[in-house]
Amino acid sequence: MRPARALIDLAALRHNYRLARTRHGGRALAVVKANAYGHGALRCAQTLAAEADGFAVACLEEALALRAGGIAQPILLLEGVFEVTELEQVVQHDLWLVVHHEAQLRMIETTALAARLHVWLKVNSGMNRAGFVDAAVAAAWLRLQASGKVAAITLMTHFAQADEPQLSTTLEQIERFDRAAHGLSGAHSLANSAAILGWPQAHRDWARPGILLYGADPMPGENNGLQPVMSLLSSVMAVRDIAPGEALGYGARYVATRRTRVGLVAMGYADGYPRAVPDGTPVAIDGQASRIIGRVSMDMLTVDLSALPDAGIGSQVELWGREVAINRVAAAAGTIAYELLCNVKRVSLSYLD
């Protein structure tokens, strides 16, 4: 079988959830949307089920998959519902939902429901993507209360630049949220992963850890004690030498300046490893530092074995994980760790506990 795989460390996942809950205080919804950022949503939720206060997903279908797999904790739909018919399933499966625009509010007001809802009312505090603004927050809160269809309202917001601690934007968003929420009863949820780690002013009743659960530190410095959960692994499948002046791979991007021992690795952009990485992007081979040379192709990539005389066919290659921080690979590719993790596909997921 092809050796490309993603090894998921479930003990590291539990460690990161506990760290988030301790750093924030209060309760924490583990965000497992997008198949738990590529890690396997059901398996990750089952791993955290004994201690998580609840889970958050993007949409109804993600929540139903967790319920079908035996997850009984609260599950929040971060995008809310898209059609009025979904409200029946929200009630049937005891789900929580975000309300972030007028049409969703009207759905609740105009639909007969068999049970009252737990609504998370979203405040647009400056990200300007979703949510009610300023005085419209209180108006929406009053309409939800008046509908008689809501058991509890949690007020929430989302930060645009919490991962940039040198900026004042997050403090400004907190202040705007507090003004909008003033006098309205209900729990508060402000902190995403970066705010859990870097903005104690945002620590309220509920945290929503996402990327930090999976060990990719959203804050500069990467010194928050997170443990990487996914190790993207493969093996060297062939070895060849190329002479000075010879080119390697598509586009002849890499040209050897000395005799170079090249390892061919079963991993490519069809597996989710980014094609955009340049020569020199770090990898680890049998635990030793090495680098990508040549352009990543669909199914294969090439690494420099010149300084590793003992490496050869069968040598393990870590593309990211405990030895190669995923943030380094993301930076090399000009993207973020979130995208790399969510793009992992075709490779098998194996779980270590």
Q: Is 159 found in the same domain as 33?
A: yes
Within a domain: 183: yes
Beta strands in 47-102 (DSSP E): 54-57, 75-77, 96-99
What whole-number distance in Å separates Cα of residue 335 and Cα of residue 325?
Answer: 14
Which residues have a catalytic role annotated?
A: 33, 250
For residue 172, tell me if it sits in a domain. Answer: yes
Considering the domain architecture, whether residues 202 and 314 belong to the same structural domain is answered as: no
C-alpha torsion 99→150→156→102, nearest 10: 30
Number of domains observed in the structure of the chain? 2
Q: Do residues 178 and 31 share a domain?
A: yes
CA distance linking residue 176 with residue 41, whole number of Å: 34
Local confidence pLDDT in tens for the 353 residues of the chain: 899 999 999 999 999 999 999 999 999 999 999 999 999 999 999 999 999 999 999 999 999 999 999 999 999 999 999 999 999 999 999 999 999 999 999 999 999 999 999 999 999 999 999 999 999 999 999 999 999 999 999 999 999 999 999 999 999 999 999 999 999 999 999 999 999 999 999 999 999 999 999 999 999 886 899 999 999 999 999 999 999 999 999 999 999 999 999 999 999 999 999 999 999 999 999 999 999 999 999 999 999 999 999 999 999 999 999 999 999 999 999 999 999 999 999 999 999 99
> Is 222 within the bounds of a domain?
no
| Containing structural domain, residue 320 | 230-352
Do residues 190 and 278 both lie within one domain? no
Any domain includes 318: yes
pTM (predicted TM-score): 0.96
Domain boundary (187, 214, 241) is at 214
CATH code at 42?
3.20.20.10
CATH number at residue 243: 2.40.37.10
Are 90 and 149 in a shared domain?
yes
Is 2 within a domain? no
Residues 290 and 319 in one domain: yes
Q: Do 145 and 41 fall into the same domain?
A: yes
